[in-house]
Amino acid sequence: MVFLAGAASVHPTAIGSEALLRTYIVHMDRSAMPSAFSDHRSWVAAILSITVGQAPGTSSAVPDLLYVYEHAIHGFSARLSPSQLSRLQRTHGFLSAYPDMPVKLDTTHTFEFLQLNPSSGLWPASNYGEGAIIGVVDTGVWPENESYKDDGMPEVPLRWRGACEEGTAFNSSLCNKKLIGARYFSKGLKASDPSGQAISMNSPRDTQGHGTHTSSTAAGNYVRGASFFGYGLGTARGMAPLAHVAMYKALFDEGGTSSDIIAAIDQAISDGVDIISLSLGLDGVPLHQDPIAIATYAAMEKGVFVSTSTGNRGPFLASLHNGIPWVLTVGAASFDRELAGTVELGDGTIIAGSSLYAGRTSLNGLPLVFMNSCSNLTSLKQVGYKIVLCEINAEAIGLAKSIVSSAANVAGGLFVCPTAYNIYFQHFSFPGALISPSDGRAILKYIQGSPAPTASLRFRQTILGKRQAPSVAYYSSRGPSQSCPNVLKPDIVAPGTMVLASWSPNITVGYVGSRPVYSHFNFESGSSMSCPHASGIAALLRAAHPDWSPAAIRSAMMTTADSLDNTGKPIRDSGDGGNPATPLAMGAGHVNPNKALDPGLVYDAGAGDYMRLLCTLNYTEEQIRTITRSSVYNCSTASHDLNYPSFIAYFSPGAVTGVREFQRTVTNVADGSWTYVARLMPIDGFSVYVQPNKLVFTQKHEKQSFKLRIEAAEVGMKHGKVVHGSLSWVDDRGQHVVRSPIVATTIKLL
């Protein structure tokens, strides 16, 4: 298999152009720090002064230091010229450096869908996540929103070392027992803009809504009567309503950079968060250049659980980011709610359309006409005050909507649209709704068979218990992980489509006619939304099981995830024509928080295991130590077989033979003695064996090991095929099913 090449760790651009300063993130070997220095910071200052040029024409000023990093990485970020960088590379203790990079975001009812309830399961067992601290690195927070009120919240934990920083339109009195910290990191962003343009909202305040949405999804307080203009009406609350939130703003209207993200994670670790939620990522970077991978390694070592998003570049394979072995990688699923404009035809038939039209209008008994693709403005203008039915292919729906809205006297529009695309077109500035292709055919049949067809439209409806949910969202990025192919990613999926959560109230959320409308709550879709669901659930698990490692929490969420939907059929993939989703789309399945409370067995792992895995990635010693920061670099035992709760095996296309073996160790986390038997779901074209196929545990914390062997049967697979099955350890009392997906594939990465 081809891994990302161990390329030179420094990429100076424009060599010879001394004037060109660029921000670099520099990793240092802390064990090389001379004892004369009392701390890291003074050592960095001394190193930077060495880089000052003596030769004429080279920079002679001490470089601008942006951040000294002490927790997430050992190193700093600074503005350097090419000659300063090359002098720095020759300094004792230098490990690696890479240029700062821009970072982008992955952009009420979900808890009921996840079956969290007050009387049993994870909510009462964790006391709603009481005392856990979730650090969210994002676009900031709108602190006045009711999701951050602190009624009923426990005191701020004594171990908390964070702060509520002041800035533009933000003062420190805005934090409380719910929002216990708010900081902002903009030095890297400012340095990236040579014109030195000011940052418009240089404070933790959220001017994009994204951070308010993600942090309230993870741990928002109860808000009664939350809705988006009546859609999704109910009591809003985060996954962990009694957990504390700390916001680390590193993304601004002007952008975001990895040096600021690292600074935010560095600070979150030092402040004492339990969970870090990262709804962002960088595409196409090897682990040793991925600021998220590097900074979260330190978090993992300190017992901090990190939840990340896959990105929204699906449904293509190998499109995900954050395929990092030591974090949770969360894809997006849709759930069982339809935000509706209902259509009642003249013959009494009622059809649910999909709409977020914010106006109050309902239309009663108006003439209904079929206008083909609704692309002829002249003929639409002649239609008069009627409801039009439009049938176009998905790419043209946006255009058809704008043509109908500009034909000002049309009363309303129904647009036939494959449901996978609903989220892109659900906002309407006029009375309109999206209709599924089968409902579209029914409406057309009614129009053609009726002398005077009519319809009524009603808005602000919410339909729960939609059939066949969840399904993997079309846009959710898919595995395998390019940066670490031997670990199956994503890990799980969680609700990500049309999630209602708090919003910044002065950002336009839509239009009614030409009038902009605002809301304290908004629907958003993306893996950015599924990640904080998982972060909140991890906070509940941390509160219920304070002794579990981050890998144990992840294992519990994965091995108990649902692989079947609410109709008992395999979860489907909206990006693959509704076929059953493979683990490259949904990982182990859809998160099931109550089951994760009592997983029976966990697949645990720690820093040593990840180090052995890194040793197989063909990295240089410097590249590995960039990630591990460890002075103990030990690749005497390398193994790409991480003790992970899932399996992925690569085979050459056409090969008719081939064997892959995996070694795993499971830990009993339930009280008492248990006997488990292996149950295999077979894989087409392969034979799978487990040895031994029975595991006996006499007490809690006991470990047992087994081998899983996958053998190719006679028929070779074509290039790019993915087949899958599963291994479940089932206890003899019928209380635990510890399920792991198994993938065999001929996908070739890079």
Ligand X SMILES: *[C@@H]1O[C@H](CO)[C@@H](O)[C@H](O)[C@H]1NC(C)=O
Question: Which neighbouring-strand residues pair with 468?
Answer: none
CB of 515 to ligand X, least distance (A): 15
Among 506, 514, 671, 672, binds ligand X (CB under 6 A): 506
Query: What span, in angstroms and rounded, lies between the C-alpha atoms of 328 and 646?
Result: 13
- Tokens 């990025």 identify what position? 477
Burial letters 97-128, b for 16+ CB under 10 A, else e: bbbbbebebbbbbbbebbebeeeebbbebbeb
Query: What span, in angstroms and rounded, lies between the C-alpha atoms of 441 and 519?
Result: 35
Q: Any contact of residue 505 with ligand X (CB under 6 A)?
A: yes
Q: Any contact of residue 66 with ligand X (CB under 6 A)?
A: no
Query: Is 528 considered catalytic here?
Result: yes
Query: What span, in angstroms and rounded, lies between the C-alpha atoms of 120 and 345?
Result: 44
In terms of CB distance, is 157 or 230 closer to ligand X?
Answer: 230
The one-letter code for the residue type at 615 is C
Among 17, 235, 364, 376, binds ligand X (CB under 6 A): 376
Marked catalytic residue, from 429, 477, 528, 574:
528
Question: Which of these ranges, 141-149, 396-404, 452-460, 576-584, lies near ligand X under the rule CB under 6 A?
Answer: 141-149
CB of 651 to ligand X, least distance (A): 17
CB of 16 to ligand X, least distance (A): 26
Which is nearest to 591 in space by CA: 681, 491, 487?
491
Q: Any contact of residue 2 with ligand X (CB under 6 A)?
A: yes
Q: Any contact of residue 378 with ligand X (CB under 6 A)?
A: yes
In terms of CB distance, is 643 or 740 closer to ligand X?
Answer: 643
Marked catalytic residue, from 210, 533, 545, 736:
210
Q: What six digits make up the tokens of 494?
A: 């969680």
In terms of CB distance, is 172 or 698 closer to ligand X?
Answer: 172
Q: Any contact of residue 567 with ligand X (CB under 6 A)?
A: no
Question: Which of these ranges, 47-55, 130-138, 144-152, 342-350, lies near ligand X under the rule CB under 6 A?
Answer: 144-152
Q: Any contact of residue 409 with ligand X (CB under 6 A)?
A: no
DSSP H or E run through 448: helix 437-449
Among 60, 171, 579, 687, binds ligand X (CB under 6 A): 171
**CB of 375 within 8 A of CB of 392?**
yes
Which is nearest to 204 in space by CA: 257, 155, 136, 156?
136
Binding residues for ligand X, total number by CB under 6 A? 24
Q: Any contact of residue 631 with ligand X (CB under 6 A)?
A: no
CB of 741 to ligand X, least distance (A): 26
Q: Any contact of residue 636 with ligand X (CB under 6 A)?
A: yes
Among 6, 93, 570, 716, binds ligand X (CB under 6 A): 6
Q: In what order do the strands lie in the sheet with 737-745?
A: 647-650, 737-745, 722-731, 674-681, 694-697
In terms of CB distance, is 38 or 636 closer to ligand X?
Answer: 636
In terms of CB distance, is 14 or 399 closer to ligand X?
Answer: 399
542 Cβ contact list (under 8 Å, min separation 6):
126, 129, 132, 274, 275, 305, 548, 553
**CB of 142 within 8 A of CB of 534?**
no
Q: Any contact of residue 618 with ligand X (CB under 6 A)?
A: yes
Query: Is 138 considered catalytic here?
Result: yes
Cα–Cα distances (Å) from 304 to 156, 270, 315, 490, in that order, read: 18, 11, 31, 20
Among 17, 379, 450, 673, binds ligand X (CB under 6 A): 379
Cα–Cα distances (Å) from 4 to 285, 300, 483, 749, in that order, read: 9, 23, 7, 9
Question: Which of these ranges, 169-177, 245-253, 276-284, 458-466, lies near ligand X under the rule CB under 6 A?
Answer: 169-177
Question: Which of these ranges, 22-30, 125-133, 376-384, 545-553, lies near ligand X under the rule CB under 6 A?
Answer: 376-384
Residue 590 φ then ψ, to 5°:
-90, 130
Query: What span, in angstroms and rounded, lies between the C-alpha atoms of 193 and 525?
Result: 30
Among 634, 663, 673, 735, binds ligand X (CB under 6 A): 634
Query: What span, in angstroms and rounded, lies between the C-alpha atoms of 241 and 230?
Result: 23
Q: Any contact of residue 170 with ligand X (CB under 6 A)?
A: no
Q: Any contact of residue 169 with ligand X (CB under 6 A)?
A: yes
In terms of CB distance, is 106 or 641 closer to ligand X?
Answer: 641
In terms of CB distance, is 634 or 652 closer to ligand X?
Answer: 634
DSSP H or E run through 277: strand 275-278
Q: Any contact of residue 520 with ligand X (CB under 6 A)?
A: yes
- Tokens 């002398």 identify what position? 451
Question: Which of these ranges, 86-94, 167-175, 456-464, 536-544, lies near ligand X under the rule CB under 6 A?
Answer: 167-175
- Residues 260-279, mask of contacts with ligand X (x by CB under 6 A): --------------------
**CB of 585 within 8 A of CB of 570?**
no
In terms of CB distance, is 477 or 502 closer to ligand X?
Answer: 502
Residues 218-247 that bind ligand X (CB under 6 A): 223
Q: Any contact of residue 35 with ligand X (CB under 6 A)?
A: no
Query: Is 11 considered catalytic here?
Result: no
Cα–Cα distances (Å) from 726 to 85, 640, 706, in that order, read: 50, 20, 15
Q: Any contact of residue 197 with ligand X (CB under 6 A)?
A: no
- CA 565 from centroid of its chain's CA atoms: 21
Query: What span, in angstroms and rounded, lies between the C-alpha atoms of 81 and 728?
Result: 56
Marked catalytic residue, from 138, 206, 260, 731:
138
Query: What span, in angstroms and rounded, lies between the C-alpha atoms of 443 and 389?
Result: 8
Q: Any contact of residue 165 with ligand X (CB under 6 A)?
A: no
Question: Which of these ranges, 52-60, 243-251, 444-452, 631-639, lies near ligand X under the rule CB under 6 A?
Answer: 631-639
DSSP H or E run through 492: strand 492-495
Among 84, 126, 139, 145, binds ligand X (CB under 6 A): 145
**CB of 188 within 8 A of CB of 100?**
yes
CB of 135 to ligand X, least distance (A): 22
CB of 198 to ligand X, least distance (A): 13
Active site residues: 138, 210, 528
Please give the residue ranges that form the binding site for ligand X (CB under 6 A): 2-3, 5-6, 144-146, 169, 171-173, 205, 223, 376, 378-379, 505-506, 520, 618, 632, 634, 636-637
